[in-house]
Every structure is written in C-alpha cells, then in structure tokens.
Amino acid sequence: MARRAFLMSCLKGEGSSRDLSPRPRYPSMPRYPKGVAAVAAIGCGNDVEAPPEDQRTAMFSVIGMTCSACAGSVEKAIKRLPGIQNAAVDVLNNRAQVIFYPNFVSEDQIRETIEDVGFEAALIQEDSKEPSTLTCRLHIKGMTCTTCSNTVESALQSVLGVRKAIVALATEEAEIRYDPKLVSADQLMKEVDETGFEAILITTGVDRNKIQLKIEGVRTERSMRIVESSLQALPGIEEVDIDPILYKVSVSYKPDQTGPRNFIEVIQSTGSGRFLATIYPEGGGRESHKREEIRQYYQSFLWSLLFTIPVFLTSMVFMYIPGVNHALDTKVVNMLTIGELLRWILSTPVQFIIGRRFYIGSYKALRHGSANMDVLIALGTNTAYFYSLYSVVRAATSPNFESTDFFETSSMLISFILLGKYLEILAKGKTSEAIAKLMDLAPETAILLTHDESGNLLGESEIDSRLIQKNDVIKVVPGAKVACDGFVIWGQSHVNESMITGEARPVAKRKGDSVIGGTVNENGVLHVRATHVGSESALSQIVRLVESAQMAKAPVQKSADRISQYFVPLVITLSLLTWLVWFLSGKYNGYPKSWIPSSMDSFQLALQFGISVMVIACPCALGLATPTAVMVGTGVGASQGVLIKGGKALESAHKVNCIVFDKTGTLTTGKPVVVSTRLLKNIALHEFYECVAAAEVNSEHPLAKAIVEHAKKFKEEENYTWPEARDFVSITGHGVKAMIGNKELIVGNKSLMLDSGIQITDQALELLMEAEEMAQTGILVAINHDILGVIAISDPLKPAAQDVISILKSMNVRSIMVTGDNWGTAKAIAKEVGIDTIVAEATPEEKAVKVKELQMSGLTVAMVGDGINDSPALISADVGMAIGAGTDIAIEAADIVLMKSNLDDVITAIDLSRKTFSRIRMNYIWALGYNIIGIPIAAGALFPSTRFRLPPWIAGAAMAASSVSVVLWSLLLKNYKRPKKLDALHIRGIMVE
C-alpha cells in the first residue's frame, strides 16, 4: 500500500512553475541520501522521488538513556549518517528503529554511531517487512459507564507494546495500536478479561485477507490435518487455523497469489469428492453481539416485570381494595403478614438472579479500585432489600413489631434500570447505522465470466461475492451492484456512486475506467476486471475509516471522563450525608413528627431519601453525551461524502475561522490543458510538439501530461512512439532537460532558463506576462540554448468556487490561497474567486510555515489541499481537509476527506461540526443539569415546603430516562440537512482521474 500510495502521489503536482520543489522531511515522505534521489527519479520516470527497493528497517536496543535529551542525541547522530531515511528513538523502551539504505550504510555503522554517542547498542531485528504497529479492535462486554471504559483503557495502556488504546463506551469497543513484536492480540484480550470484562476479537489489525470456510464430510482428525496441509501448500497462504469441533477453517492469504475459490477446489479434491467446502455462515461480528445484548436485556426486563408487577400491586394498589387488603394483612407468624411474605418471595429472584449483573459489575469495579453505575445500583437496591429483610425477620420473631418493607423499591428499581438499559442499547445501535449501511452495500452474489487462453468467453456463473479473486472478470448487468473494485474491460454505462462518494450524479463508465465496489450500474452491461478485493477494497477502507472515527474521542470528552472519575464516590458520600442529616434531624426533633408518613418512621424516611440520591445520580448520561453525538455526526458526514476522522477533527472544525486553500486540484480542476502555443522561431508546430513531447512523456507531472495530450492531436496513430530522450533529468520545481537526437532540449520556467544560462527575449517575457494575467501557466521551450516558443496552459476553476468563498465570508470564515504557482497566475485566480490574501511560489515547507503563522495570530486554521506537497500544511493545520481525488498521502495526512472533491463540502464539514457540537453542549447541559436539579429533589429539598419526596423507584426510572434522552437527542442529528445556500448552487461533482 505504501508503494501504491507513493506511485499515486507521482500523479500530483502544483502550479505552473513545475511546483516540484524539494520534498519536505516529514513522516509521510522518505528522505534519500545524495545520489539516490536522482536514480529514483529517473527510475520512476517523473519528477517525484520513488523509494529504492532495497530499503531496510533495523531495530536496536539502546542501553543507558535516561531522558528525552539522551534520545534526541542518539536520533540526531543516526540521522547524520548517509543513507538514513528515518530514525525514531523510544527512551521508555530503550529502543531505536532505523529505516535505511544498505548501499550507503550498514547496521554495524549505525550501532557504532550509537555507541560513539555514549550508549550501549545491540541489533535486535533487521529488514523487518512486518508493520511496526498494528491496530487491534475488540468488542468489550459488561461496560456500563465511563468509569468502566476508563478502567479498561488504563489497563490496556499499561501493557508493554501498546502505543495507544481507546475504549469507547458508546460502541463498547476498544481500538488498540500495538507493536506485534512485543504483545499479541490474545494478550490484549487476556488483559481486558483480567479487568473483569469479556473481550471478543473483531480484528487483529493484520493487513491481510481472511476467509472462513465450513467443511462437510470430514469425520476424523486425520482428515482435518490433510485438509490443513493441503491448504498450507498453496502459494500465498499465510495462516491456516482449524476448529475441529465446528469444522471451520480460517485461512489468511495474499490476494495477489491465491483466493477462496482455490481453497474450495483444493479441499474438495483432497477428499476425492467426499468433502464439501462452503463459506462459513455469518454468525460473528459486532452486530451479532449487539443483538445478543439487546435480547438479554429484553428477557431480563420481562422476567423482572413478571415478579415486580405483583410486588407493586400488593404494596401500592391492593392495600386500597377492601377485602383484598384484609387478606394481605393476615398474620402468618407473629406480626409477619401474607403481603410482606409474598413481596419478600417475589422480590428475591429479582434482586439476586435477574439483578446479578449489577453484583458482577460492582465486584469487577471495586476489585480495581473504582466505582461505577453498578456500584450505585447494587448499594441502593441492597440497602432497600436488606432493610426490608430485617423488618420481615423482626416481625416474624416479635409479637408487637409492626414492620414496613421496601421490597417494591428494590424490585421496581431494577426493573426500570433494565428497561432504561434496553432502550439505551436500542438507541445506541441506531447511532452506528452508518457503518451497517456501508457494509450492506456489498452485493451478496456476482456473475463470474470465464475465458480461455485466447480471451474468448467460455461461460458465466453466479458465485458468492466473497469468492471473487484478483483479476477475475465480473459481469455487471443494469440495476446490479458492482461486486468489487476494478476497471472496465468491455461495455459502457453510467454508475451511481452516491453511496460511496455522496455524489448524486451518475458517472459515465467505459473501457479503461475504474469502478468502485458497492456502486450501482444504472444502464448498459459492464465487464469488470477485479483489482482490489476483500479488505483492500475502497468500501472496506471507508468502513475502517468510519469505525476509527467513531472510536476517536473528542478532547471535550476528557473533561467528562474526569468528572465521571469522581462522580460515583461523590454520590455515595452525598447519599450517606442525606441519610445521616434526615435521620439525626428526626431523632432529635429537627422537624415536626407530622412530616413523617404514617407508614414509616424517621429512620425509614431518611433511608428512602438516601437511596433516592444514590440511584438518581448516574454518570451514564455524562459518558454518552459526546461519543453518541460524534458517532451520529461522523455517520451523517460519511453519507454526505464527507469522511471526518473522529471527535478531535469535529471539535476543531467547529472553531475554524480561517481556511487556507491550495490552488491546483483544489480551487481548480487539477486537469490542465494547453490553450495556446506561440512560436518564436520558424518551425512546424507538429515538429515542435514532437520534440517537447519526447521529453515530457517521461514525466508524470500534470503539466507534462497536458503537453503530451496536446501533442497527440498532431499524430494520426493512436499509440505513437515518441523519439527517444537521452540524458533525461527532472529539475524539481523547475522543469526537465533531455537530449532529443542531437538537440539539447530544456522545458520549464523562467528560473530554469536563467540557471541554464539561456537569455530570455523581451518577446518571450511579454508572452509569459500575458499568460499570467489570464491565469494561465507559461512554459518556455529552448532548443540548443535558444528560446523556441511559449506554451500557455490553463487549469480551469471548479464550478461555483467563487460562490463557496462568498458563503465562507458570510460565515465569518477568512479565505487564503497558498500555492506553488507563480504570482501572476495566483493573483488572477484569486481575483476570480474573490480571495484577497495570496501566498504564491511557496514550497511545501513554506505552506506549513504560513499555516503556523496564522495559528500564532490566534486563528483556528483549516487547510484544504490535494497534492503530496500539501501534506505538511495539512498536518500543521488545526483541521486538514483533503480532496478525495487527491493523493493517498494527502488523504492520510488529513483530518477530513472530501470524497466528492467538491468545494461546497468544505462548508458542509464546518456546518456539520458546528451542529454536532451544539448537540454535545446540549447533551452536557442535560446530563449535568439533570443531576444538579435531580439530586437536591431526591435529597428532600422540596419536602419541608411541599411534602414532595421522590420514591427510589421513580428516581431509578428518571436516572434511566436521562441516558436514553441523551442518546435520542444525539440521534436527532440524523436529520441533518446541508445549508440551503449550497442547494442553490447546483454544484456538479468533479472527479479527477
């Protein structure tokens, strides 16, 4: 993928002046020693450096470092060596990872350099082809509030080899970035289990395809071993895992070399026809866990209701019905009545069987020195139950003690909390509908075409879409979904890509065009050759991006987590104080006896107040306020073609008051075309372009492509072979040089000509200025040190770019253009779109510096770009927005990806983030305000003046309702609509290919 990303990045450049300035040293880009860059550039055939194939990675243990200064000195010493691409020193783990080129430096030289600095060094690992970090995802069962998620997160963070761990309460999942050399996914699951929660593996993060097959007809272990051996012998097989009980085979493989159909054929041929292999039926995944959890809470609630309704009736209703109340008041033993005995019997299974989940949760939390919602519920219900039990036992053993029980309090409290959790999980499930909808886009079946060696069609068959392998040819009929990523080899049609990109307008497809899996073919038949299947597909990558976004915590959530950390102990303290104050007040006549209800004494009244305080205050709503809104916001964004990478990006985007725009491919289409050619010497135009194209065909720069495409118009042959260009050299940021026959050709900007000692005539300068005034790029062509002509290239503006800048001004967002293009072209484009502030002829480093200057002035800055040379600025900005048609590295560096490549989505992203954070603020006001108002009422603040008190079971119902209401308030974001101003623009989507 890194290689593919880099090669794709070669397709992008910036500006007229061949904005191919020296590449910055930042994490996404390699740094080469002198000599490598030139070789790489020539080998790649363009202006952008390609990585040498012999790059290697070595890991060293470094003993003796005590602080970051030590690590810095080691890192600096290593980077001074020739052939070092990158070096990172971890002072905590006493390790140094070095990426280098063995043609220039060896492991021994690196080790000796570290020792020269004054530390002991030893080579641990070299030439690692494995990724240094993986991302593991776990489903975690049993979490109830932020205290639980914080406990799990802290435990995972403390594991050696874990780089970062995020535990999301809303999704009940953990995302862990870890070093596979130091810790495994199984160890991470064990760590979660030790905290008292159950961990279920979703993915280990290994970037490989995996499929599960069910085998029928196998009877013995020997047969299973034969199947395993047969599969392992296939090329491209990485791992085979067999479950002999379920007859399930899990195969991890390289899709370039093999695929699931090969596995099925091998298994069935191994058993001489006795074995039958099929794809294992879907039974795992997060959805099945969610459904199971919903089912469990629903059943628990129904069983609880079955016992609780009679308890409620005997304590609250039947006592007012003549005859029935007399029967219930009949004494069984001493002062123990039938009603009390029934309530005891009925509430006991609710307390200890149905409510056992709260005991388990409390034990797990207290064992790790924390307190969560389960602790509050267990304390509240146990207090009510065991006080009632004490009353019952005392009534049964005393001839004159009149008992009052609270069995209805404990049973009704558990019932209402179970109902609240059931409704909360249902609501939370809807917050992640975006992922479910994305995953459902993939069709279940596909039509596979088979061809003979000559390419003649032999037949077609319908197969499970999961059986598609790389290079398969798939037939897509009108109305059907495209089953995989690929390119059209036959046919033409229009494809609706709105479900992936958010772009409503169908896109025309013909031979050679790429298609995305999950999109819908509207008319015509297409034959598509599969290029990316399984986890490599665009749909899978988008799903992973949205999943990670929904896991990422917004910075504002840290405040809520800190509050939740102290919330439960504070509530328990307040509950005890409430009970103590009311009890002592009653005992020492602090209030009139007439305040005490006839059915209880002062102790029981104080106890009810204390229990109510304990159960009404719950940190659940507080913990769900941010993640549920972020989940819905990122899901809505994905459906609009705006991929937002998590809560941090959302939080920063809503504060943006300044946007820095790149020009080429951002404000403009990024597909330059030749608009005019002015010759200064007597030469035929077709000869002129044959010479220029012979050199430019070696470059992948957009301007070079435009020149070559224009030159083809002078040739009748479709695949014309241009003359050979010898001694081709690309001068980064300036142009190219080459020998065409016996002529020395130089094509580039003014500075390249001057550096080459070529005198630029007044006529040529006038033509350059003319082009710049018309927002065109002027390219000079010199043969044998004489200026031969000027080529004017134009990159048209994207539709409605001017309107978008105008709308941003109305939103009080300042717009700035920073480009590598020349000043004349930059000014012309800026004037056309309405941007006042311009920075032109900027290198990638200068773009990042400009962003930092704006930040230093107090602005919250967003950067919108598409090229590899925008990546430093995208990283430096508070919010980086990458155009979806841009390079992989730019997209990777950005916080927000605009899939439709439309500028109006910049406004959509900012508006959506503002709406989302408005919901988050309201959620916090609701959650905190609820507790601020509810706790005093539960504590009896209104009782002296109004005699109003909040029974514990009503307090429990209110507590459950608070969490549900917060989630429902977040779900209202699903009704989000783009600003009406954008609907009036009728902007057409532009895809740059």
Q: d(Cα 44, Cα 39) in Å, to the nearest integer?
A: 9
What confidence score (pLDDT) does residue 349 get? 94
pLDDT surpasses 70 at 35: no
pLDDT surpasses 70 at 804: yes
What confidence score (pLDDT) does residue 304 get? 92
Note the pLDDT tens digit of each residue in 708-739.
888 888 887 767 788 888 888 887 668 889 99
Contact 591, 517 (CB under 8 A): no
Nearest-5° Cα angle at 227, 225 to 232: 95
Q: pLDDT band at 6, cuts 50/70/90?
A: very low
Please give the residue that has the higher pLDDT: either 561 or 930. 930
Q: pLDDT band at 33, cuts 50/70/90?
A: very low
What confidence score (pLDDT) does residue 800 get? 77
Sign of CA dihedral 607, 609, 610, 611: positive
pLDDT surpasses 60 at 5: no
Lowest mean pLDDT among 62-71, 432-441, 699-708, 925-934: 432-441
pTM passes above 0.75 = no
What confidence score (pLDDT) does residue 353 get? 93
Please give the residue that has the higher pLDDT: either 450 or 254. 450
Residues 900-927 have a mean pLDDT of 87
What's the token pair of residue 14?
Answer: 């910036």
Q: pLDDT band at 559, cuts 50/70/90?
A: confident
pLDDT surpasses 80 at 358: yes
Please give the residue that has the higher pLDDT: either 386 or 221. 386
* Secondary structure of 665-700 in HEC code, one letter for each residue: HHHECCCCEEEEEEECCCCCHHHHHHHHHHHHCCCC
Residues 656-680 have a mean pLDDT of 87
Nearest one of 670, 704, 651 to 901, comparing CA atoms: 670
pLDDT surpasses 50 at 681: yes
Residues in the chain, total: 993
Q: pLDDT band at 958, cuts 50/70/90?
A: confident
pLDDT surpasses 70 at 500: no
Helix 702-712 crosses helix 685-696 at what angle (to 10 degrees)?
140
Q: d(Cα 34, Cα 57) in Å, to the nearest integer?
A: 19
Note the pLDDT tens digit of each residue in 382-424.
888 888 888 888 888 888 777 777 788 788 888 888 887 787 7
Please give the residue that has the higher pLDDT: either 903 or 555. 903
Residues 324-330 have a mean pLDDT of 83
Residues 645-656 have a mean pLDDT of 84
What confidence score (pLDDT) does residue 361 get? 82
What confidence score (pLDDT) does residue 197 get? 85
Contact 749, 779 (CB under 8 A): yes
What confidence score (pLDDT) does residue 43 get? 35
Nearest one of 256, 176, 962 to 615, comparing CA atoms: 962
Please give the residue that has the higher pLDDT: either 9 or 976. 976
Nearest one of 629, 613, 538, 661 to 931, comparing CA atoms: 613
Note the pLDDT tens digit of each residue in 434-471.
666 666 777 888 899 988 877 788 888 888 888 888 88
What confidence score (pLDDT) does residue 216 get? 82
What confidence score (pLDDT) does residue 733 get? 66
What's the token pair of residue 659?
Answer: 């946007």
388 CB burial (10 A radius; 0-12, 13-18, 19+): buried
Residues 742-754 have a mean pLDDT of 89
What confidence score (pLDDT) does residue 985 get? 62
What CA–CA distances, in Å, run from 366 to 42, 357, 624, 681, 882?
Answer: 65, 14, 22, 88, 46
Mean of per-residue pLDDT scores for the chain = 79
Contact 971, 964 (CB under 8 A): no
What confidence score (pLDDT) does residue 861 get? 92
Q: d(Cα 521, Cα 447) in Å, to the nearest integer?
A: 14
Please report, to the nearest 10 degrees, the dihedral formed by the alpha carbons of residues 731, 735, 741, 742 taken in order. -80
Q: Is 614 helix (H, G, I), strand (E, B) or coil?
A: helix
Note the pLDDT tens digit of each residue in 267-277.
888 766 678 88
Q: d(Cα 520, Cα 525) in Å, to the nearest integer?
A: 12
The listed range with the strongest mean pLDDT (250-254, 295-299, 400-404, 839-843) is 295-299
pLDDT surpasses 70 at 130: no
Q: pLDDT band at 790, cuts 50/70/90?
A: very high
